[in-house]
Amino acid sequence: MSASISTIGAFRHGGRLREAMAAFPDAPRPWLDLSTGINPEPWSGQRAPADALRRLPDPLELAELEAVAARAFGVADAGRVVATSGAEAALRLLPGLIGGGRVALLAPIYGGHVETWAGSTPDLIMSVADLRALGADVLVLVNPNNPDGRRIERMTLAALAQERSDAGRWTVVDESFGEVAPELSVADLEIDRLVTLRSFGKFYGLPGVRLGFLIGNKMFTGEFRALLGDWPVGADALAMGLAAYADDAWKARTRMWLATQAGAVDAVLAEAGLKFLGGCDLFRWVEAPDARGLFTQLCARGVLTRPFADRPDRLRIGLPSCNEFNRLKHALQAVTS
């Protein structure tokens, strides 16, 4: 038994595993979820102790977390870094703080940004070359990009953000995949109207912790903190974020492993006849003549990937863990042979 691709919400975003399981009840279990660009070999530190769950989070712990994250992001002033319950939560609040004018999104882009600014009827800009001439009051982009892995070099983006700020215009840079491309980051730059978003869950492989950060000028981050209230994140986010961001050795090893694993996935995709178009070291963006059919066939084998409503010839595939690598390889061989 199988289901229409639209019935499992796959077009909106990845991670809808329970819907996929219900739509394909005869698929092998457990499922292999490659629909999101999340590290399949997560940081393995401990969660919050029981006593921390029995009290409200301490403001001093929150400040400590933001300081540790600031160091990890290369931000000199921890007061510019605000912890949130995920980058998604932060981006949804931005229209109320910096909206009110013309908005442009550099497409293709993560669907959450499109939904966030829907009330402003945003323009979709398809070319990086068009950005300098853009007069939008707010420009939103992802770097490295989701879903296609497009990269904008740091110096180019820094100059653009400064020019826009000088003209009274905002630039929002979503760096949710920034840990695998740290050379692109502009989070450290103190530009008045530059806002940067960071995600904990993707690189550290723990999206359920719901932790992210907003980085901006101190006046703006003060307003943002007031909007979030006294307890923006929970005990697990505090404990795990504090330890993980301080684990430099794990970060270095993981970056190397992800790059190696991404290369191995590329070889498997090429063997299956899928054309590599882009991505980063947490996901691959491929061309397939019938990507929706391929998505459905993989679902029938318990492998969940990510299709796109506006691109029936594109599929995004996350990285499998070491133990799951052969399952992806065999599934692709079965449906493309």
- Average pLDDT for residues 89-105, to the nearest whole number? 94
Domains of the chain (ranges; CATH) run 5-42+250-336 (3.90.1150.10), 50-246 (3.40.640.10)
- Average pLDDT for residues 302-315, to the nearest whole number? 93
pTM: 0.95
pLDDT at 3 over 90: no
**Which of the four pLDDT bands, split at 50, 70 and 90, describes residue 1?**
very low
| Residues 167/194, Cβ–Cβ less than 8 Å | no
Both tokens of residue 329? 């390889």
Q: What are phi and psi of 165, to 5 degrees?
A: -65, -45
In whole numbers, what is the pLDDT of the chain averaged over residues? 93
pLDDT at 95 over 80: yes
Nearest alpha-carbon partner for 192 in 176, 168, 173: 168
Q: Which residues pair with 173 in a beta bridge?
A: 141, 196
pLDDT at 90 over 80: yes
Report the alpha-carbon distance of residue 12 to residue 306 in Å, rounded: 9
- Average pLDDT for residues 50-72, to the nearest whole number? 96
Neighbour-count burial of 247, counting CB atoms closer than 10 A to its CB (0-12 exposed, 13-18 middle, 19+ buried): middle
Beta-carbon contacts of residue 129 (< 8 Å; ≥ 6 apart): none
Give the per-residue pLDDT at 100: 85
Give the per-residue pLDDT at 228: 96
Beta strand 170-174 with 138-142 is parallel
**Which of the residue ranges 130-134, 135-139, 221-225, 274-278 would you say has the lowest mean pLDDT?**
130-134
Edge-to-edge strand ranges of the sheet holding 314-318: 275-280, 283-287, 314-318, 306-307
- Structural Rg of the chain based on CA atoms: 20
- Per residue in 7-27, pLDDT (tens digit) is 555 556 677 899 999 999 999
pLDDT at 298 over 80: yes
Q: What are phi and psi of 192, to 5 degrees?
A: -50, -45
Q: Which residues pair with 82 in a beta bridge?
A: 214
Report the alpha-carbon distance of residue 267 to residue 41 in Å, rounded: 20
- Per residue in 165-198, pLDDT (tens digit) is 999 999 999 999 999 999 999 999 999 999 999 9
